[in-house]
Structure 1
């Protein structure tokens, strides 16, 4: 049976020593996040992931969700109790304002808990994860009445939330959606239409489900300019807050899919369902994007979570599995063969995954910290800078971490050889579950196009210039530190590749936009590699400082070796990405469609 252990100690190191969480006490909610509080929260969250969620993962995958003739959906055995433990522990409202029943702690701590949960049991973690996203959208765009009526129940986990975008005939191009909303004359609307691929659309974990639904009000403009967002509860809520009659929304079926079997992916039918406008009419995408951006960052965390879980199991197997002898002679002469962890290619695989995971975790937490600065800082310039960095990094975190998360799950599966292909060992589930993260909340090709077409040129490239300025500032400070040279020099080379790629696109993509399209994915990964390299530089600086103070030097030596591996073996990929971008779109677009 596969196992999982939340990386609590590494997360604490990143929060305290790399990101300097305690130096942010000026931000609202951070003063309460004292070192002992943060450690207690992370250790309890890790315990929940390890002892409650992880043991349900493989069994939940095998059983899956069941759709019944009356429209009900039941989740796998144990999921209801597991969800109750998550909700009952207050984890749903970890970073939600206290006024709505939350604890008001920093979002960066919540991001860490999200990694633990998704690494332990991705399918189960999606139910509270989607609810947190829906709450975020309501807190920004909901009316005071909507916030009071729905958010506290969602924060306590009595009710859950979803987002309903996709329809059978349209995915990313939401301008084509057909779900319609007709005014009822009392401030509510009657919604009719069908939505597909709705995660957690129907289940037995909570009393009510609050659906956020994109629809078009009768007479609204065509395209995305005529889309509005509506709150449509599964069960209508009475004036006193109690549950009333069942609304006109139902689950028509659940998808039989590749992975995340424990999460109900539903076809949702709206038959004159009563809903209420969220935010302004015809500006639904603005409201929904709050939830989508939250979800995209959370999906990036899912990629990291699956990579970490697969890595942990591959390491355990590599230490135990006997096969052949080490190239330099037997390492375990008393045994019939050496454990496969002695073989360089197995080591390469494990080191590649480990080096990615540690840097990706730092990038996730660094990005989540920008969210805290954006929402909690008093200085408008500081908030603006954080908003710029979040906008730039959201497609990178989503796209790069899920692409690499899936690839790492496959590589970890390969360590098992034939056993990795057998369901008993659980590695195939990590591969299958990781695959969806590359697709939903905007397929990764869309993330790359969003980065290169919108985020990069926005405000004259202000976000990219600010990010490069921060990295260059770090390198300038580190210039006299010989111990950091093994990290700083490769990062400087990667920055050069990124700058050349950016310049090439500026010079060539205006005349032929296909150059941007053909190079978008490579650019996203180039920027992602550079960002991960920057994280490793910061990790190395903190590790060196800790090593100088004595204590567990073996831990810091291992950290530094892992970082040097990344700088030597992974970061040089930026040159490959640059070469691909410079190749342009000519051969990519040369063949006629009929030639394929």
Structure 2
């Protein structure tokens, strides 16, 4: 059985049109032209593209990988044609501003399209994904001259983009980087140094690649306060915008990776490459974080995409694989054995995968609404509230979604049994591909430290308020329900939310005296925030489903399934919040007790 994926359009439309209707950040007049009919048509066409063009290249691209020929990286067979269709269809420009050739699509829709692309072919998604991230940084910090020279072709997808941070001796600690930039006397700089782990660092999909490179000026102070950001094209553009000579950027090698084999991850050498300053001198890290923060949300969506294709593939296999008889008695007497989907433990795994993906999609849509409101909210108060929410939830989306993706991919292999461990069925690729999402754009441990170290206490806890207020408001509103299942689920969420509130106070108090206490609690705290956030979304979904069923909807199967998935989440997934709370409460003692030389 090959990899199975069909965009979950009905659930996507549910989170887009129903789950947060009229709530949280309000309607945004800026996107008034994007009616439900229009956005649904976009999702339909994206589903066709990902199913018919990208999915067939996922396994073959993994098997073939990327190669180097005469100093140029070649992508696997079919990728150039697929990218041409992607570019010519306008998919590269979906959410970019119209003034630079984009279509101005809201992030609520764009992130759903991203999910489809990542599910169908995660390796492919990195090529346009990195370009979009680079355009975000250029939009936010570059001069008007640089914007005019580079943005139109990057937005259209004619030119690609990267971000070049990591060096062999430094990863997260960018204060150690050595790449240097020397003024050339004409406003440009000569950039020299080596970078590793550069996604889309070189390839044959676009005619040019625009690198955003962190480097040091000659008089730069030490550490992160002395880092500047430079725009360095692979090929220097001519005055008419066509590509000119090479610019001293060479591919030193392709990384040999566990997964994402069709995504070119390169070692790059810059030798007096001509570049231009983006933003202010020695303020490059702030400019680069504009890109990284956008990428971190997108990496979370990558995890969701891998989780969805792993789930769908596992469901298809579980329906066809015959093994033993159901514990309750023969389910299919017409067959020599029953499909494994009848077995409770297989159901446990499938429901876990389903709850993780549906919960991530709903929570991701909530954050996407905030991204739109942050940029286009009707008033300053709404924009600030949305910005606070995005700041808090960005590390949660990145870390939680990718942790769950890795778990989901592994559950998929487990359902396939021994057949999942071999390459024939393609599900072991999901495990390998998902693993990097927990590592790049800042490891998930770093995301947790960002949450507790930077976000928790910032502005007297202001970043937490939109999240806490939304959960509190729903709990108060849901208290009016008479439905027994909704009342029980509301009680479960209320208990978990109480644990989150207590944990927040505990960490804030301990961190004032001992930073290691906050660090010891960080990963469990992030998981706790994510579980409560998903619980909030599942309770909203269940209440909507119960209402729709009460109205006599003709989509009873969909809403009944919503209730079933919510029930599984509250029964089997949300109890993880108690474990996280108890771990946080235990403090750092046992974690730090063993001396380093005793390991």
TM-score range, shorter chain: over 0.9
- Match for residue 531 of structure 2? 529
Following the alignment from structure 2 to structure 1, what is the Cα–Cα distance between the partners of residues 582 and 393?
A: 23
- Match for residue 212 of structure 2? 212
Following the alignment from structure 1 to structure 2, what is the Cα–Cα distance between the partners of residues 401 and 441?
A: 14
Greater alpha carbon shift after TM alignment, 456-465 vs 117-126: 456-465
- C-alpha contact 1:307 1:406 (8 A) present in aligned 2: yes
- C-alpha contact 1:487 1:536 (8 A) present in aligned 2: no
Following the alignment from structure 2 to structure 1, what is the Cα–Cα distance between the partners of residues 431 and 274?
A: 40
Instruction: Name the SS of the counterpart of 1:471 in structure 2.
Output: helix
Following the alignment from structure 1 to structure 2, what is the Cα–Cα distance between the partners of residues 272 and 548?
A: 69
Following the alignment from structure 1 to structure 2, what is the Cα–Cα distance between the partners of residues 26 and 500?
A: 33
1:559 aligns with 2:586: no
What does 1:576-591 align with in structure 2 at a 5 Å threshold? 576-591=579-594
Following the alignment from structure 2 to structure 1, what is the Cα–Cα distance between the partners of residues 178 and 243?
A: 29
What does 1:443-462 align with in structure 2 at a 5 Å threshold? 443-462=443-462
Runs of 4+ aligned structure 1 residues displaced above 6 Å come to 21-25
- Match for residue 53 of structure 1? 54
- Match for residue 309 of structure 2? 309
- Match for residue 509 of structure 1? 511
5+ residue gaps, structure 1:
none
What does 1:30-109 align with in structure 2 at a 5 Å threshold? 30-68=31-69, 70-109=70-109
Following the alignment from structure 1 to structure 2, what is the Cα–Cα distance between the partners of residues 502 and 108?
A: 29
What does 1:52-451 align with in structure 2 at a 5 Å threshold? 52-68=53-69, 70-451=70-451
- C-alpha contact 2:24 2:470 (8 A) present in aligned 1: no
TM-score, normalised relative to structure 2: 0.98
- Match for residue 473 of structure 2? 473
* Deviation digits for residues 530-585 of structure 1 (CA, Å, limit 9, x no counterpart): 11101111111222222223212121111101111101110011110011111111
- Match for residue 518 of structure 1? 520
* Deviation digits for residues 454-510 of structure 1 (CA, Å, limit 9, x no counterpart): 011111111213311111011111211123313311110110111121122123232
- C-alpha contact 2:25 2:370 (8 A) present in aligned 1: no
Following the alignment from structure 2 to structure 1, what is the Cα–Cα distance between the partners of residues 381 and 480?
A: 31
Following the alignment from structure 1 to structure 2, what is the Cα–Cα distance between the partners of residues 24 and 447?
A: 25
Cα pair distance change 1:563/1:150, threshold 3 Å = same
Greater alpha carbon shift after TM alignment, 547-556 vs 345-354: 547-556
Following the alignment from structure 2 to structure 1, what is the Cα–Cα distance between the partners of residues 112 and 258?
A: 27
1:300 to partner: Cα distance: 0.3
TM-score, normalised relative to structure 1: 0.98
Instruction: Name the SS of the counterpart of 2:195 in structure 1.
Output: strand
* Deviation digits for residues 163-209 of structure 1 (CA, Å, limit 9, x no counterpart): 00000000000001000000000000000000000000000000000
Cα pair distance change 1:285/1:469, threshold 3 Å = same
Following the alignment from structure 1 to structure 2, what is the Cα–Cα distance between the partners of residues 28 and 102?
A: 18
- Match for residue 538 of structure 1? 540
Instruction: Name the SS of the counterpart of 2:178 in structure 1.
Output: coil
- Match for residue 9 of structure 1? 10
- C-alpha contact 2:154 2:160 (8 A) present in aligned 1: yes
Following the alignment from structure 2 to structure 1, what is the Cα–Cα distance between the partners of residues 466 and 65?
A: 46
Instruction: Name the SS of the counterpart of 2:186 in structure 1.
Output: coil
Cα pair distance change 1:22/1:85, threshold 3 Å = farther
Aligned length: 595
Following the alignment from structure 2 to structure 1, what is the Cα–Cα distance between the partners of residues 547 and 185?
A: 66
Following the alignment from structure 2 to structure 1, what is the Cα–Cα distance between the partners of residues 547 and 147?
A: 46
- C-alpha contact 1:471 1:534 (8 A) present in aligned 2: yes
Instruction: Name the SS of the counterpart of 1:509 in structure 2.
Output: helix
* Deviation digits for residues 107-149 of structure 1 (CA, Å, limit 9, x no counterpart): 1111110000000000001100111111111111111111111
- C-alpha contact 1:32 1:105 (8 A) present in aligned 2: no
- C-alpha contact 1:420 1:427 (8 A) present in aligned 2: yes
Cα pair distance change 1:230/1:372, threshold 3 Å = same
- Match for residue 595 of structure 2? 592
Following the alignment from structure 1 to structure 2, what is the Cα–Cα distance between the partners of residues 378 and 557?
A: 36
Aligned partner of 1:547 among 534, 549, 573: 549
- C-alpha contact 1:98 1:104 (8 A) present in aligned 2: yes
- C-alpha contact 2:181 2:218 (8 A) present in aligned 1: yes
1:26 to partner: Cα distance: 5.3
